[in-house]
Structure 1
Amino acid sequence: MSENTEEKKKDPKLEQNKKEEPMSLVAMSAVIGLCGGLFWSLVGYLAYWFSFTEVSPRVVLEPIAVGDWKNSWLGVVISLGMLSVFSMGAALVYYVALKKFKRMWIGIAYGLLLFGVIFFILNPIFPSIKPIRDIDWYTWVTSACLYALYGLFIGYSISYEANEMRVEKETEVSH
């Protein structure tokens, strides 16, 4: 019986002897984006709720939704979900363009770039976001910091995973 057990431990066809394939970096980036979008939009909603900012995550619904439901709890849930999905796209853009950089400042700059795109370029499609010159100082600083932290999270996480996968491949090749 002992020989049979030893043979089973060495048989690569058995499920218990198979190694789990790691998730690709693209898939990992999408998951990082989804989690980062959910977490940082929740933080943004809390900042709005505690009046640190005048911009609610619900602004994402303004161009597409009609009705008072978007101002209820359902609007909050749907807007957090939409922001998480949009965040996946932002993370994939970071993956394509900036994954090789290992400095945290690149992620912070990416977050501030996203802030600029939303508050300066896309501002007209979000009626509840005042023009940047009319936004109060607290909203301006809070929003910029949230975007910078979001960018830091996305950038550092994706760059870390890319570096880990590169090191793992180099280790496999050397053995």
Structure 2
Amino acid sequence: MRRINQQENQKQKTSLIPKVISIGFFGGLIWSAIAAISGYFNFTTITPKSFILRSWIQTDWSDQWLGQIISILIISLLSIGIAFLYYVLLKKYDGVLPGLLAGIVLWFILFWIMEPIFPNIPDFYRLESDTIVTTICLFILYSVFISYSISFAYLQHLHEK
């Protein structure tokens, strides 16, 4: 009986922080890998290495597969911060719409507002239409993955209590 009470207390004390960390990491890992594959098949000219490494490091290795893998891992770590931001601001909203809107906002921030700090990324009006459509879709899918997963984990956590 005492062991059951300890397990129930343990369940009540668990937080969503480990889930948010894993959702953010794997969301970044999965969707930046898909972005790299999209670049390989020429759906987009902008890949993870375009943002992370090639904007500041112009060496041979950063333009090859090693640069792509390192960039994917860095994006996965940065994605944890985005997942926490979503958890703090939008965890109570479920459905696809919050993720869709968050993806568009995230794309807008990276491609319009933060564009000057990425010298390797062309200006918006110089991007090909395939690149624009592909990157917007990838950002939306990434954000919907993060938002839906965090909202589901949050609602599940509420039902456990």
Q: Distance in 2 between matches of 1:72 and 1:19?
A: 49
Q: 1:27: how far off? A: 2.1
**Unmatched tracts of structure 2, length 5 or more:** none
The answer as to 2:43 corresponding to 1:52 is yes
The answer as to 2:142 corresponding to 1:150 is yes
The answer as to 2:61 corresponding to 1:93 is no
Q: Please, what TM-score do these two structures have when normalized by structure 1? A: 0.83
Task: Show the counterpart of 1:78.
Answer: 70
**Structure ID, larger Rg:** 1
Secondary structure class of the residue paired with 2:145: helix
Match of 2:53 among 61, 80, 87: 61
Match of 2:26 among 28, 35, 53: 35
Task: Show the counterpart of 1:109.
Answer: 101
| Structure 1 range deviating more: 123-132 or 22-31 | 22-31
Give the counterpart letter for 1:46 in structure 2: I
Q: Distance in 2 between matches of 1:67 and 1:125?
A: 18
The answer as to 2:120 corresponding to 1:140 is no
Percent identity of equivalent pairs: 37
Task: Show the counterpart of 1:7.
Answer: none
Deviations 1:97-154 (A, max 9, x none): 1001112100111111111111001111222211111111100000000000001000
Q: 1:68: how far off? A: 2.0
- 1:26–1:95 CA contact under 8 A, matched in 2: no
Secondary structure class of the residue paired with 2:42: coil
Match of 1:123 among 115, 119, 122: 115
Q: Distance in 2 between matches of 1:58 and 1:45?
A: 8
Give the counterpart letter for 1:104 in structure 2: V
Give the counterpart letter for 2:42 in structure 1: S
Secondary structure class of the residue paired with 2:3: coil
Q: Distance in 2 between matches of 1:129 and 1:64?
A: 11
- 1:55–1:128 CA contact under 8 A, matched in 2: no
Give the ranges of 4+ consecutive aligned residues of structure 1 lying more than 3 Å apart after TM superposition. Answer: 17-23, 62-66
Match of 1:161 among 145, 153, 157: 153
How many matched pairs?
157
**Unmatched tracts of structure 1, length 5 or more:** 1-9, 170-175
Q: Distance in 2 between matches of 1:148 and 1:11?
A: 47
